[in-house]
Structures are given as structure tokens and as C-alpha cells.
């Protein structure tokens, strides 16, 4: 029996210090001449969704956005890589994550993975900046796989099944994240969500979306493991 445990990145595994937003805004300015509305929230969104929604709000048509998207994302990645390799970038692993990942990896009944709105190369850049080897996450679904987060759990589940050569019931997929979008995205496959208030949403905000469990952070290793593995 195997449980597929999928972590969100920004606000969940790490605090990005805004590196993703700064890289995206820099790229948007070059390719669209505007960063879009400053009140537009990035958390819980996929990278392509961020570009599309913020540029729609700035008045661009989808055809125009689609045409510029590949170059925009290449520019975004170059800026992100430059930021994390030049001086103190501010990306930090959250408290409790190192021990939690070690404990999950040590279990034979857990397949560790990612479910993130980051395009795959951006995910690797951020993880390495936080001191996490991307290879530790053996399966994943990314913002480069689909623009909408609710489509990602089925992709991750299919990849996990292909890797292990066995079917995984939806209820054995655990999605861990810091936003209501993380909590809601797995409903279509019957996945369960464990929410953590280390991003911009409070534990009360997240609890209102009915996750399987909610934590302020993952510093209580035993309680975190129980929620993730013994549900
Ligand atoms: Mg997040």
C-alpha cells in the first residue's frame, strides 16, 4: 500500500522571498510593457495562469498572450536563475520541512512528489535555492503540465501509477499546500489535502476550505506525520 504525498513549493516547502514575483514582473515588463495590477495575487496560481490573468486585466487578448508566452517564460526562468545565483536571494526552507521530508523519504509506503504551479525548471531553481535537491521528489505535476491547478492532481497520480506499476486510489493521494487552491484542487480525484499556514493564508482561512488537516507549520513532526500517513 502506497501513499503519494505531493508538496506545493512556494509558501509550503519554502518562503521564496518574492523571487518568483520579481522575475515574473521583470519578464512581463519586457514582453508586455506592464506588470499588470499590483494587487493581483500570485499564490495558488500556476505560472501561465499568472501571466494570462494579469495580462488580461491589463487589456491583452488571449491570442496575444499565447503568442508571447513562450518567450516570457524563458525570460522569467533566466531572471529567476540569475537572482538565486547572485548573492543573497532570500529563499528559505520553512521550519520543520527538512525533518518532515527526511521522515517521509524513510517510509517504504510513501512516494514523495511535487504538485506546484511553478513550471518545472522554475521549481528546480527554487528548490535548489532553498537547499533541497529536486531529485528527492520522485514524481510531480507542474505549471508546465497544465495552466489550471485542478488538472494537476490527475497528472501526478497517473505518473505515480506509471512509476510504481500499480493503481493508486485517489484517497491515497495527499496534497500539501498553503492556499485554498491547494486544498480544493484534488477534490476531482478524491485526494485529501493537508494545509499549512506558512504562506499568506491563516490556519483559520485554510480550515474554512475543509482540508483533511491544517497546521500552523510542520514543526510538530509526529503530528504532521500522523496527519499525512495515518489518515
Ligand atoms: Mg503555495
- Ligand 1 centroid vs 200 CA: distance in angstroms? 9
- Ligand 1 centroid vs 60 CA: distance in angstroms? 26
- Ligand 1 centroid vs 216 CA: distance in angstroms? 14
Q: What is the structure's pLDDT at 53?
A: 98
Mean pLDDT for the chain overall? 97
- Ligand 1 centroid vs 62 CA: distance in angstroms? 25
Strands 14-15 and 92-93: antiparallel
- Ligand 1 centroid vs 2 CA: distance in angstroms? 25
- Ligand 1 centroid vs 151 CA: distance in angstroms? 16
C-alpha count within 13 angstroms, C-beta hemisphere, residue 156: 37
Mean pLDDT value across residues 2-6:
96
Q: What is the pLDDT of residues 50-95, one digit of tens each?
A: 999 999 999 999 999 999 999 999 999 999 999 999 888 899 999 9
- Ligand 1 centroid vs 143 CA: distance in angstroms? 12
- Ligand 1 centroid vs 41 CA: distance in angstroms? 11
The helix (run of H) or strand (run of E) holding residue 176 is strand 173-177
Q: How many residues does the chain have?
A: 231
- Ligand 1 centroid vs 197 CA: distance in angstroms? 10
- Ligand 1 centroid vs 57 CA: distance in angstroms? 22
Counting beta carbons within 10 angstroms of the beta carbon of residue 48, is it exposed (0 to 12), middle (13 to 18) or buried (19 or more)?
A: buried
Q: How open is the CA angle 23-26-30, to the nearest 5 degrees? A: 140
Contact status, residue 91 vs residue 84, Cβ threshold 8 Å: yes
Q: Is the pLDDT of residue 190 over 70?
A: yes
Q: C-alpha grid cell for residue 26? A: 521583470
Q: What is the structure's pLDDT at 231?
A: 67
Q: What is the structure's pLDDT at 46?
A: 97
Mean pLDDT value across residues 144-167:
97
Give the contacts of 121 (CB within 8 A, at least 6 positions apart): 77, 144
- Ligand 1 centroid vs 127 CA: distance in angstroms? 13
> How much is the pTM?
0.97
Q: Which of 42, 34, 46 is CA-nearest to residue 18?
A: 42
Q: What is the pLDDT of residues 169-188, one digit of tens each?
A: 999 999 999 999 999 999 99
Mean pLDDT value across residues 84-112:
95
| Residue 183 burial (CB count, 10 A) | 27
Per-residue pLDDT band for 161 (boundaries 50, 70, 90) equals very high
- From CA 109, how far away is CA 53, in angstroms rounded? 39
Structural domains present in the chain: 3-16+91-229 (3.40.50.1000), 19-85 (1.10.150.240)
- Ligand 1 centroid vs 189 CA: distance in angstroms? 20
Give the contacts of 37 (CB within 8 A, at least 6 positions apart): 54, 57, 58
Q: Is the pLDDT of residue 1 over 70?
A: no
Ligand 1 ion: residues within 5 Å (CB): 8, 10-11, 178
- Ligand 1 centroid vs 6 CA: distance in angstroms? 12
Amino acid at each position: 500500500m502506497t501513499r503519494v504525498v505531493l508538496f506545493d513549493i512556494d509558501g509550503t516547502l519554502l518562503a521564496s522571498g518574492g523571487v518568483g514575483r520579481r522575475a515574473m514582473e521583470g519578464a512581463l515588463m519586457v514582453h508586455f510593457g506592464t506588470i499588470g495590477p499590483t494587487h493581483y495575487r500570485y499564490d495558488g496560481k500556476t505560472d501561465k495562469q499568472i501571466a494570462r490573468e494579469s495580462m488580461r486585466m491589463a487589456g491583452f487578448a488571449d491570442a496575444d498572450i499565447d503568442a508571447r508566452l513562450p518567450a516570457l517564460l524563458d525570460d522569467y526562468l533566466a531572471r529567476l536563475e540569475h537572482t538565486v545565483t547572485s548573492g543573497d536571494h532570500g529563499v528559505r526552507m520553512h521550519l520543520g520541512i527538512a525533518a518532515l521530508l527526511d521522515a517521509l523519504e524513510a517510509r517504504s509506503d510513501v512516494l514523495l512528489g511535487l504538485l506546484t504551479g511553478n513550471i518545472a525548471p522554475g521549481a528546480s531553481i527554487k528548490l535548489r535555492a532553498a537547499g533541497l535537491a529536486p531529485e528527492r521528489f520522485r514524481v510531480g505535476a507542474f505549471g508546465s503540465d497544465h495552466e489550471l491547478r485542478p488538472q494537476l492532481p490527475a497528472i501526478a497520480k497517473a505518473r505515480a501509477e506509471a512509476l510504481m506499476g500499480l493503481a493508486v486510489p485517489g484517497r491515497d493521494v495527499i496534497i500539501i499546500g498553503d492556499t485554498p487552491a491547494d486544498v480544493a484542487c484534488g477534490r476531482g480525484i478524491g485526494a485529501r489535502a493537508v494545509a499549512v499556514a506558512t504562506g499568506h493564508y491563516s490556519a483559520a482561512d485554510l480550515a474554512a476550505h475543509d482540508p483533511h488537516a491544517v497546521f500552523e507549520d510542520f514543526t510538530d513532526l509526529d503530528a504532521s506525520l500522523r496527519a499525512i500517513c495515518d489518515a
